[in-house]
């Protein structure tokens, strides 16, 4: 039998709702993917709190089908860079279809990934196909991809809110992360998040976001 307790919820005045919604948008719209990182270290505890925030995400049957491996060790970062560049050289050197390379063109990306060594932290996010349920019994997970995607969104927003920048990186395939980080085969690498501060003079591609009328309709 499930046990219940009263929800903690404070209903806000309408003008405060408006201003909070606007303030969050004003902040999150300044998030940009960064590909040129400084090596400045991140204060202890910041990433930990952002991971706690990610771990609050809604998810299938509350099985929380995610694992986050935080890498600060220079030697491990180097191994990840070497393995990622090997995959990326194949990707850019022939495996990627022309139409994919075509839409990537304006971002100026290539097989060189120095940021995997320069940035102070990498967070490898794994999607678990199996986990222990609340009774400690091993179970299959439900909607793991959707769940991990939402947790990754919470994490990226939390890191931005804490004054850090990120790169959502997906060297494909990413199975090398299981080997390097010692994660079991039931965990599939989902994203490799590069975390830190922008290098001095860092530039980002000029891009636009679709207006509201193009991404939503109201009935
Ligand atoms: C699932 C996913 C995978 C991505 N993979 C890469 C990647 O491997 N390399 C890269 O440079 N950027 C990658 N990006 C970043 C996107 O290119 C970037 O989010 C997009 O161009 C929009 O730019 P913005 O994040 O600055 O708004 C990825 C983003 C997502 C969500």
Average pLDDT for 112-141: 96
Lowest average pLDDT, out of 42-51, 53-62, 131-140, 191-200, goes to 131-140
- Give the pair of three-digit tokens for residue 138: 């091993």
SS3 content of the chain, % helix, strand, coil (to 5): 40, 15, 40
The domain defined by 35-200 folds into NADH Oxidase (3.40.109)
Lowest average pLDDT, out of 92-96, 164-168, 178-182, goes to 92-96
The confidence score (pLDDT) of residue 70 equals 98
Angle between helices 144-161 and 14-28 (to 10 degrees): 90
Q: Which atom of ligand 1 sits closest to the CA of residue 204?
A: 26
Whether pTM exceeds 0.85: yes
Domain ranges in the chain? 35-200
The confidence score (pLDDT) of residue 96 equals 86
Question: Residue 35 Cα, ligand 1 centroid: separation in angstroms?
Answer: 10
> Could you report the per-residue pLDDT of 137-167, keeping only the tens digit for each?
999 999 999 999 999 999 999 999 999 999 9
For the chain, the maximum distance between any two Cα atoms, rounded to a whole number of angstroms, is 58
- Give the pair of three-digit tokens for residue 26: 């004003």
- Give the pair of three-digit tokens for residue 98: 């022309």
User: With bands split at pLDDT 50, 70 and 90, how would you rate the model's confidence at 2?
Assistant: confident
* Percent of the chain clearing pLDDT 70 (strictly above): 100
Confidence check: pLDDT of 208 > 90: yes
The confidence score (pLDDT) of residue 172 equals 84
Q: How far apart are CA 116 and CA 156, in angstroms?
A: 17
Nearest CA to ligand 1 atom 28: 168
Question: Residue 170 Cα, ligand 1 centroid: separation in angstroms?
Answer: 8
Q: How far apart are CA 34 and CA 103, in angstroms?
A: 18
- Give the pair of three-digit tokens for residue 58: 């809604």
Of 129, 116, 121, which is closest to residue 187 (Cα–Cα)? 129
The response to whether residue 107 sits with its C-beta less than 6 Å from ligand 1 reads yes
Question: Residue 172 Cα, ligand 1 centroid: separation in angstroms?
Answer: 13
Q: Tell me, letter by letter, the H, E, C secondary structure of 103-172.
A: HHHHHCCCCCCCHHHHCCEEEEEEEECEEECCCCCEEECCCHHHHHHHHHHHHHHHHHHCCCEEEEECCC
């Amino acid at each position: 039998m499930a046990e219940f307790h009263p929800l903690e919820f404070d209903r806000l005045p309408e003008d405060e709702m408006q201003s909070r919604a606007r303030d969050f948008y004003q902040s999150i719209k300044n998030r940009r993917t960064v590909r040129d990182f400084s090596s400045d270290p991140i204060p202890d505890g910041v990433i930990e709190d952002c991971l706690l925030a990610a771990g609050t995400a809604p998810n299938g049957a509350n099985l929380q089908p995610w694992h986050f491996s935080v890498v600060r060790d220079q030697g491990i970062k180097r191994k990840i860079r070497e393995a990622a560049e090997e995959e990326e050289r194949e990707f850019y050197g022939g495996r990627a279809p022309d139409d994919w390379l075509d839409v990537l063109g304006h971002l100026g990306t290539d097989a060189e990934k120095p940021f995997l060594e320069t940035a102070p932290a990498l967070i490898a996010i794994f999607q678990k196909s199996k986990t222990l349920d609340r009774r400690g019994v091993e179970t299959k997970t439900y909607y793991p991809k959707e769940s991990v995607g939402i947790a990754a969104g919470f994490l990226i927003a939390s890191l931005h809110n804490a004054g850090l920048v990120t790169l959502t990186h997906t060297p494909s395939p990413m199975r090398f992360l299981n080997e390097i980080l010692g994660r079991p085969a039931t965990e599939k690498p989902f994203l490799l998040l590069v975390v830190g501060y922008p290098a001095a003079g860092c530039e980002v591609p000029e891009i636009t976001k679709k207006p509201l009328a193009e991404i939503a309709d109201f009935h």
